[in-house]
Amino acid sequence: MTTLTNPARVAAEPAYARPSFFRHTAYLTLRQLRAAMRVPAFIVMNVVQPLIWLLLFGQLFTSVVDIPGFTGGDNYLEFLTPGIVMMMALFGSAWAGTSYIQDMDRGVMDRFLTSPTSRGAMMVSTLVYQALLTLVQSLIVLGVAWLGGARFDGGIGGILIMLLAAMLLTASFSALSNAAALLARNQNVLIGISQLITIPLMFLSSALMDTSLSADWVAEVARFNPFEWAVVAGREALGADPDWASVWGHLGLLAVFTAVLAWVATRAFRVYQRSA
């Protein structure tokens, strides 16, 4: 006996509640992972620059911990490592939209949008792919920091929480990059937007320097900086005596920020289709 599906009921269900959403997300994520495996140099390049920053800054600014008022502990490399992990997540995710630009140029995007492919899956698969890349790259950075002498009292639990913060940061800015790609449809514009956003966010945070040593307005702006939320959550979780209220509070803000941007980016598909 054939069971008929009520179209109105299907339309009313949220995308994530439909079985096809999960299947499409898995297929599209595997598609991007296979593409990345064909060009391993891309992954290597994304890791090399953060490692250079970690090793160079870790040595150049060792004496920062001796400055009166510095609250980041007595080992600058330990202070710096969560900031470098989040910088890698931020810069990598800011380029996420380039895959959409390539799909547009090749006509792949139009074929996806005229097929039954879930729009939500198209967006979420990109976020999952970028988060997986961040996970692998973050573990490499942590390993190098450990070899450099950094020790994290937060243990495995603290590391897992820091990785969660990094993946949420990645997902949020990947969604923003995808939305910009769908609206701008131009690689140069996307690059310009990425640089305009990422550089100020990085310096208006405690990734490289304790904000208590910065101008008062920098510390105030940092409170509303999503990048800073991830840095604070990761750094607190790795500490010997974490402020768990701060950790979970900042993770909660990141989760809400990610959900909002993912929704906005998914809606951007409609704008793209109307203007195609």
Do 151 and 55 meet the contact criterion of CB atoms below 8 Å apart?
no
Task: Please state, in angstroms and rounded to a whole number, the distance separating the CA atoms of residues 23 and 118.
Answer: 9
Task: Please state, in angstroms and rounded to a whole number, the distance separating the CA atoms of residues 133 and 216.
Answer: 35
Query: Domain spans of the chain?
Result: 19-275
Do 44 and 133 meet the contact criterion of CB atoms below 8 Å apart?
no
Burial 71-81 (b: 16+ CB within 10 A, else e): ebeebbbbbbb
Q: What is the pLDDT of residue 12?
A: 42
**pLDDT tens profile 227-259:** 999 999 999 999 988 999 999 999 999 999 999
**Nearest residue to 209 via CA among 83, 55, 85, 87:** 83
Q: What is the pLDDT of residue 7?
A: 39
Task: Please state, in angstroms and rounded to a whole number, the distance separating the CA atoms of residues 178 and 198.
Answer: 15
pLDDT over 80 at 42, yes or no: no
**pLDDT tens profile 158-174:** 999 999 999 999 999 99
Question: Which pLDDT band holds residue 276 (cuts at 50, 70, 90)?
Answer: low
Question: Which pLDDT band holds residue 38 (cuts at 50, 70, 90)?
Answer: confident
With a CB cutoff of 8 Å and minimum separation 6, the contacts of 244 are 236
The amino acid present at 100, given as its one-letter code, is Y
Do 76 and 62 meet the contact criterion of CB atoms below 8 Å apart?
yes
